[in-house]
Structure 1
Amino acid sequence: MDQLSRFELLIGEKIEKIKNLTVLVVGLGGVGSYATEALCRSGVGRLILIDHDTIDITNLNRQLMALHSNIGRSKVEVWKERIKDINPECEVIGMQEFLTSETVEDLLFPYGIDYIVDACDTVDAKLALIEYAQTHHIKLISCMGTGNKLNATKVEIMELKRTQNDPLARVMRKKIRDRGLSDDVIVVCSKELPCPNESKVIGSTAFVPSVAGLYCASYVVNDRLSCEENI
């Protein structure tokens, strides 16, 4: 028995399809941290991680890798160490970079990416990833807003054009139309109305972003397992 044996009981020889995957995760916060953990523990063979930030005390309420002992450290470096300890067979490529529409081609072009998990915060980065994925025919799942939400049961996977009660998704729909991109984008979105919040700082919980991140990982794994023609 090895560390993937319990998963292999469910999917059998298809475990090799997961081991051969290269998945890009952009944004290692409340959503991206849980997506990364689930992908790593599911046996994904190569993870490309991009995040420019360091761990802050305000991350402790929702980010999986955040501890008092690693405040101030690079999120990417902490994740490289964590993944090596969980699944030494997983190759990790980490970039402490800020992805934008100007940098996306240079950062991503050298790698044969199978899936993109967009867990970043900025509209520009999300648009850059969606355009890159559509141009290079890469499957992508993009997380919409999980801040100011309390009910994790309202999180769903859907098409961007079917989202509701999500200010970020509303902006993304318009921006995508303006750029002439396809709106057939798979997203994780909460249908919950945002909680009232008079602060300019977005509130967050431990459970809504984490559920969204796990949904992202679930989408990648289940979509890959369903692609019989790619065996």
Structure 2
Amino acid sequence: METHTHNWLERTELLLGSEKLELLRNAHVLVVGLGGVGAYAAEMIARAGVGRMTVADADTVNATNINRQLVALHSTVGRPKAEVLAERLRDINPGIGLTVVDKYIKDEETYILLDAARYDYVVDAIDTLSPKLALIAASLERGLPLVSSMGAGAKTDPTKLEIADISKTHHCPLAHMLRKRLHKIGIRRGFRAVFSPEPMREGAIILCEEQNKKSNVGTISYIPALFGIGCASVVIRDLIGELEG
């Protein structure tokens, strides 16, 4: 069976040129959190031709993920998200150097993961504040370029999406809480955030007591995907030297 692996990046090379495509082939990108945002970010990064990736998440696919998560199908319910995504990424690029970490990245695991390899970029798609803060702080401490997704839930307007330094985020509750925590440890700027200032819809959040989360937030199919694509665009454009600002 013909695999077509010889020319699958032909259109990307036509757009970017061979030298910039080679920069992507030689890059290693870490994506932490493979839910509604992170899986889309990872897939877009892989489809752009990044040669090495590490993806991390210990969660399994739940039926409630099907409305918005790339890895979630009725046929994948109960399977590890990292495993399902890894199959997709290897099918997109059979030559990808892929490391799969089936663990929740928090506490000591954050430092172990960041010190396990030399990364050219980190994508933070964690939706819980404390491990998110730890990943950001530890990445910046190591001088690693990073892009972070803010809250994608309870929103419906794709035209409100913005990408800016964390210091310039506004009207986003998660970004506000994160900035306050970062200020306490001396971090005020230094990484880009994908966010939306669209007001959160009333009644779209309910409290819960599930593992690693304290609330469930209503979501629509396309908003988390756009946040992930925004994160991927930052990574790709920065790696090839085309990100302004």
Larger helix proportion of the pair:
1
Q: When the two structures are aligned, how many residues end up with a matched partner?
A: 228
**What's the counterpart of residue 5 of structure 1?**
10
Post-superposition offset of 1:108:
2.2
**Distance in 1 of aligned mates of 2:113 and 2:166:** 26
State, as a whole percentage, how many aligned pairs show the same letter: 41
**Please, which of 225, 228, 234 is the counterpart of residue 210 of structure 1?**
225
Indicate whether 1:199 and 2:206 are aligned: yes
**What's the counterpart of residue 100 of structure 1?**
106
What is the RMSD computed on CA atoms of the aligned residues?
1.4
Could you tell me the TM-score, scaled by structure 2's length?
Answer: 0.90
Distance of aligned partners of 1:90 and 1:185 in 2 relative to their CA distance in 1, 3 Å threshold: same
> Does the CA-based 8 Å contact 2:179-2:188 persist in structure 1?
no
Displaced runs of 4 or more, over 3 A? none
**What's the counterpart of residue 127 of structure 1?**
133
Indicate whether 1:112 and 2:112 are aligned: no
**Please, which of 80, 85, 90 is the counterpart of residue 79 of structure 1?**
85
Post-superposition offset of 1:227:
6.8
**What's the counterpart of residue 145 of structure 1?**
151
**Distance in 2 of aligned mates of 1:226 and 1:148:** 34
**Structure 1 alignment gaps of length 5 or more:** none
Indicate whether 1:31 and 2:47 are aligned: no
Task: Write out per-residue CA displacement over residues 185-210 of structure 1, whole angstroms, 9 at most, x where no aligned residue.
Answer: 31000010111016332101111110
Could you tell me the TM-score, scaled by structure 1's length?
Answer: 0.95
**What's the counterpart of residue 224 of structure 1?**
239
> Does the CA-based 8 Å contact 2:29-2:120 persist in structure 1?
yes
Task: Write out per-residue CA displacement over residues 59-99 of structure 1, whole angstroms, 9 at most, x where no aligned residue.
Answer: 10000121100100001111111111111111110111111
**What's the counterpart of residue 44 of structure 1?**
50
